[in-house]
Amino acid sequence: MAWAHDLLPACAGVVAGSVGDLAPNPIGRSTMANYAAGNASDDSWKSDYFINLSVRNVAGQLKGVGSKGIGLKLSRPADKQLIEWLLADEANVAKFISKLEVSFNAADGSTSSEYDLS
């Protein structure tokens, strides 16, 4: 399976400056690890896959954006549909990127149109 950062040149104008990739849930890296340790039999809160957003730094290395990826669960029908579609064909990662709409919002819900950064 091709990772989205491998497809960046093909999608360069689609989502400028960011890429997403799909990766299995790394065991032991969950923010819920302490909770899970006390309730090892209930792992229903765990994501099965993540969509991670990354941007290349000045040295050309991928640097993750945000503190964690977007968790996808096979137990949620819409997530399962997306996971299966992304895994079915490498080209679907680029198709997914082309369908993304990215928004950036203040945590307090306020908006501003003061800057034109074009």
Q: Which residue has the higher pLDDT, 116 or 25?
A: 116
- Report the amino acid identity of residue 22: L
**Of 92, 17, 29, 95, which Cα lies nearest the Cα of 62?**
17
Q: Which residue has the higher pLDDT, 17 or 80?
A: 80
Domain spans, the chain: 4-23+47-99
Residue with tokens 């969509």: 51
pLDDT at residue 29 tops 60: no
Long-range contacts of 79-86 (CB under 8 A, 24+ apart): 79/48, 83/22, 83/48, 83/49, 86/22
Cβ(19)–Cβ(97) below 8 Å:
yes
pLDDT above 50 (res 54): yes
Residue 39: the pLDDT is 58
Tell me what pLDDT residue 8 has: 40
- Whole-model pTM: value is 0.56
User: pLDDT tens digit string along 56-89?
Assistant: 888 888 888 887 789 999 999 999 999 999 999 9
